[in-house]
Every structure is written in C-alpha cells, then in structure tokens.
Chain A
Amino acid sequence: MNFSTEKSGDKLRLYLRGEIDHHNAADVRTRIDRILETELPGVFYFNLSGVTFCDSSGLGLVMGRMRKCAMQDTSLIVEAPSEAVMKILNIAGMDKLLRIERSNGNGKAS
C-alpha cells in the first residue's frame, strides 16, 4: 500500500492506494503521522479513492488519524471512499463522527 501527497497553502491532500489490512496499516500509519507532524496542515484531506480493500484495520487507521488530527487542531475530511469502504465506516458510525465527502475532491483544495 502506498500514498502520494499534494499541498496547497495549509491544506494537505493524501491519496491512499491499495489494500488496507492489519499487515499494511501499521507501516502506513507511521508514515502518515510523520507527514502530519511535519506539515501541520490546517485541513487534511484523507483521500481513499484508491483503496481497493478495507477491513476493520482501515477503520482503526481512520479513527487513529481522527484522534491525531484533533490533537494538533487539524480538520480531517475523508474523501471519496468506495461503496465497500463506506460500508465499513458506517458500521462503526463513523459517518456521524467524521466529515466524509463522497465525491473525489480534486481541485477543491484551494
């Protein structure tokens, strides 16, 4: 699993790609947190459009980044989850705790 980032002003968008399971989540979590700490963005767009598989480890990843962002006063917006990813987020009631944009937010970073 891999990701790329895009910065514009104090907004940071991260495109996550691949399968999120327990095996992949640990490594990617550390790398994302390092970027969040160094960039300290005002808004963090967590773009999940490239995620092809997600189990409850992905849920843990999102919940953890939610906590992380809250601690450093970064607004978190989860973007473009697929139907399957959305289903997992809904089971945990994340749709009520998080700002989730169903569409791909390209060009909205400004």
Chain B
Amino acid sequence: MARRADPISNSMKCVFPARSINEGFARMAVAAFVAQLDPPVSVLSDLKTAVSEAVTNCIVHAYRDADSKTDCPIYITAVCTAGGLLRITVRDKGKGIPDVALARTPLYTTDAEGERSGMGFTVMESFTDRLRVRSAVGKGTTVVLEKQVGR
C-alpha cells in the first residue's frame, strides 16, 4: 500500500458565541479532547494557553464592533492523527485582520487601554509547533495550531 499521511484517528467540533465567559469553556473542551492522547501536563497546559489566546482574539478583536455577541460564532475543530499530531482550528466570522504580519509582531496591540499585552500570537507561536493565520477583512479569521502531542 502506498505510504500516506497519518490517518485521522479522532476529531471534534464545537461552536459557541463570542462571550468572554466561554474562554474557559473553550480551553477545557480542547483539553478534554486532548486528554485521550495522554499528554504530559506541560503540553496540556501549553495547548490550553494557546487556545485561550486564539479564542480571546476572536472576542476582543474579531467581534469588537458587533452589537450582540450571541450572533458571533466561534468555531473550534480539533483533529488528532494516529501519529499523535494535534491540529486545532479556531475560526470566526469577524472583521478580519488587515495586516497579519503586523498583528503577529510581539507587543503589537490595537487595544492598549484594555490592558492587552500584545503577546497573543507570540504566545500561540511559542506554545505550539506551528501556527498559521489566514484572514480576510470583513469575512473573518482562521487560526490553525499544530502540536505533536502523542508520546
């Protein structure tokens, strides 16, 4: 049989409104899914932090101008392969990022008065193996986080 990429061994999806109370829910949901891979505590902690950053960005930035947060969905999918690679996608339908490279710059923030540190993307980058960001102004942003989790 031809050599192929690791087959998808499991996946999950969840959708919730962009309310800050759901930041805790989102990271716990991903942590509960990842637990089946039996990761070390530090890896689980890193993943929770990265997910928290991605979801917070949706709430603080993507849907900043939205009137009613209940109409603002955040979609999370998590897929793990038989090889123990975890891929988490966090997607919103918010206002998008005009300059992704700038947004990813350490300490850059558009919300200084909200006491944001400007380190969200930097933390996501440091706490995962790979971070990809796709964004379209007026349409939304997709953040893909990858981390080797299985032992």
B123 and A64: CB pair below 8 A?
Answer: no
Q: Mark B1-41, 1 if CB is under 8 A from A, else 0.
A: 00000000000000000001101100100000000000000
A76 an interface residue at 8 Å Cβ cutoff? no
| A64-B109 Cα distance, complex, nearest whole Å | 14
Q: A57-B56, A63-B117, A91-B119 are in contact. Are A22 and B48 (CB under 8 A)?
A: no
A55 and B24: CB pair below 8 A?
Answer: no
Closest CB of chain A to B19's CB: distance in Å? 9
Picked from A21, A23, A64, A88, the residue with its CB within 8 Å of the CB of B115 is: A64
Which label, helix, strand, loop or mixed, suits the secondary structure of the B interface? Answer: helix
Q: A21-B24, A56-B120 are in contact. Are A83 and B115 (CB under 8 A)?
A: no
B105 an interface residue at 8 Å Cβ cutoff? no
B42 an interface residue at 8 Å Cβ cutoff? yes
A42 an interface residue at 8 Å Cβ cutoff? no
B49 and A57: CB pair below 8 A?
Answer: no
| A59-B123 Cα distance, complex, nearest whole Å | 11
Q: Closest residue to A82 on the B side, CB-wise?
A: B45
Report the contact-size class of chain B (Cβ under 8 Å from the partner).
Answer: 20 to 34
A53 an interface residue at 8 Å Cβ cutoff? yes
B141 an interface residue at 8 Å Cβ cutoff? no
B49 and A84: CB pair below 8 A?
Answer: yes
Which label, helix, strand, loop or mixed, suits the secondary structure of the A interface? Answer: helix
| A61-B106 Cα distance, complex, nearest whole Å | 17
Q: A21-B52, A56-B123 are in contact. Are A92 and B117 (CB under 8 A)?
A: yes
B45 and A57: CB pair below 8 A?
Answer: no
B59 and A60: CB pair below 8 A?
Answer: no
Q: A22-B56, A57-B56, A59-B117 are in contact. Are A83 and B42 (CB under 8 A)?
A: yes
Q: Mark A45-56, 1 if CB is under 8 A from B, else 0.
A: 000000001111
| A92-B117 Cα distance, complex, nearest whole Å | 9
| A19-B26 Cα distance, complex, nearest whole Å | 14
The 6 closest A-B pairs by CB, nearest first: A23-B20, A60-B117, A59-B117, A56-B119, A55-B52, A22-B56
List 16 A–B pairs whose Cβ atoms lie within 8 Å, in order of A's numbering. A21-B24, A21-B52, A22-B20, A22-B56, A23-B23, A25-B115, A53-B45, A53-B52, A55-B52, A55-B123, A56-B122, A59-B117, A60-B117, A84-B45, A88-B49, A91-B122
